[in-house]
Amino acid sequence: MDKKKSAPQSRCETCEYYDYDEEWGTEVCKMSLDEDEYEKFVRGQTGSCPYYKYYDEYTSVRKQN
């Protein structure tokens, strides 16, 4: 049996830097990755994004209460 190495699952949807870009008409990463970092991430050669930051839209609401 061959064990295929699966690409790491990104959690971009929950990242603070993942946002809608009106010009492109899609969700994109707003973090400025250099070419090498981006290529490694896209190819799945990195375990996780080093810039991932969980976005909780209710954080500011909790602070107001």
Residue 54 has pLDDT above 80, yes or no: yes
More confident residue, 3 or 45: 45
Which pLDDT score is estimated for 2? 41
49 CB burial (10 A radius; 0-12, 13-18, 19+):
buried
pTM: 0.59
Tokens of 44: 């799945």
Residues 4-48: pLDDT tens digits? 444 444 578 888 898 999 998 998 888 888 888 888 877 877 667
The tokens describing 59, both together, are 């954080």
pLDDT higher than threshold 50 for residue 64: yes
pLDDT at 10: 56
